Amino acid sequence: MLMDRYSRRIIGWNLGTDMTESLVLKVLRQVIRERDLVDGLIHHSDRGGQYAGHRYRAVLRRANIRQSMSRAADCYDNAFMESCFGTLKRELEMTEYENHNTANAEIAGYIRYYNIERKHSSLEYLKPAPFESLINNPK
């Protein structure tokens, strides 16, 4: 899952049965294609091997995105994503799903809610998608 830290919008995600570089590369490439990214953007993640892979780092370099990683054993360095995951797990009341398709549909619905309807105190109680529209199209 990738989140725009400024708007708190979840901008890409993928559900898989493993935590491989291929799983996260799909999301990264999608976000690069779909978003209007500025040069020098910083991509922050934990120290998972999937984010340290050669292919993942190469895609970041080609897109002129700087990579930042949490310090070893310091969850606070990635606190925004940890908080987002905690919120998702708590509010979605995650459970064992019947199958991959059911899980995918439930999570997709929650992410739509999170981006479009859920107010965030850090955004002065605005919702991520409308907040992003405001900052991208000021009056």
Entry pTM: 0.84
CA distance 121 to 46: 24
Q: Give the whole-number percent of the chain exceeding pLDDT 90.
A: 48
- pLDDT tens digit string along 12-47? 999 998 889 999 999 999 999 999 888 888 888 887
User: Which CATH superfamily groups domain 2-136?
Assistant: Ribonuclease H-like superfamily/Ribonuclease H (3.30.420.10)
Domain parsing of the chain, residue ranges: 2-136
The answer to whether 12 and 27 are in contact (CB under 8 A) is: yes
Residue 76 confidence class, pLDDT cut points 50, 70, 90: low
DSSP class of residue 18 equals S
CA dihedral 39, 108, 76, 131 (to 10 degrees): 60
C-beta neighbour count of 27 within 10 angstroms: 15
Q: Give the whole-number percent of the chain exceeding pLDDT 70.
A: 96
**pLDDT for res 139:** 66
59 compared with 96, residue with greater pLDDT = 59
